[in-house]
Amino acid sequence: MLLIRAALVVGVGVLVVGCGGGSGTTADQPAAIASVRVTTTPEPSPFSSQPTTAPKPITKATPKATTTTTSKEVVELRTIPFKKRTVTDGSLPKGEKTVRTKGVNGTRRLTYRVTFVNGVQTAKHLLRQEVAKEPRTQVTAVGTKVDEPEEPSGCDPNYSGCVPIASDVDCSGGSGNGPEYVAGPIEVIGSDIYRLDSDHDGIACED
């Protein structure tokens, strides 16, 4: 007679098998016993309160910006102001001014090395400079001449030569009684105030 006993426990299972004759197992009957332990892992419940781990966000690397550096030579022109000089001139009336030489500005050329980064100027260095055009000095003359007043000559301007200025003048050797006398001939160039030209031909004291 074969007797099979089985016992199953949740989480642990034990199977006992016995073999023997008759209706029971005696001490003199051979017996074979085998035991098997089975362990099961319970699946998590969908309603479990255990926190779930959120997936990490995927980050993309930002590409580095490229830098472009360029340089070039730049030429600039600058004005050189002309100088002024003053000289004196004795032939000009005192205080009078005249420009003898007109001033002209010059030109200076400057060459720079200019550096640009991404199109923006970042540096500027002077390489060389030179005078492209020399300036010309302006010369101004200032007069120093002083006109002195003419002193009376004592000669009447109505006659050539020198006829004295007096209350009356007569020709020398004539019948006049002076007080001044003059020897001719004398040209009358104005008015014959002394009536020296008796024949009115423009020549006085001709006899």
pLDDT surpassing 90 at residue 124: yes
CATH: 1.10.8.420, 2.60.40.1080, 2.20.230.10, 2.40.420.20. Which one for 69-145? 2.20.230.10
6's tokens: 């089985």
Residue 57 phi/psi, 5-degree rounding, is: -65, 145
188's tokens: 């009358």
Q: List the one residue out of 159, 164, 165 whose CA is nearest residue 189.
A: 159
| Residue 32: per-residue pLDDT | 45
**Per-residue confidence at 37, pLDDT binned at 50, 70, 90?**
low
Q: Residue 159, Cβ neighbours under 10 Å: how many?
A: 25
Which residue spans of the chain are classified as CATH 2.20.230.10?
69-145
| Residue 15: per-residue pLDDT | 39
pLDDT surpassing 70 at residue 83: yes
Q: Specify the higher pLDDT residue, 43 or 98.
A: 98
Lowest mean pLDDT among 57-61, 103-107, 193-197: 57-61
pLDDT surpassing 70 at residue 36: no
With a threshold of 0.85, does the pTM exceed it?
no
Q: Specify the higher pLDDT residue, 126 or 34.
A: 126
pLDDT digits over 128-163, tens only?
999 999 999 999 999 999 877 665 667 888 888 788
Burial code (b: 16+ CB inside 10 Å, e: under 16) for 64-100 equals eeeeeeeeeeeeeeeeeebeeeeeebeeeeeeeeeee
51's tokens: 């926190």
| Residue 20: per-residue pLDDT | 45
Residue 193 CA to residue 12 CA, distance in Å, equals 176
163's tokens: 């006829």
pLDDT, averaged across the chain:
77
pLDDT digits over 153-203, tens only?
678 888 887 888 888 888 887 777 778 888 878 888 888 888 888 888 888
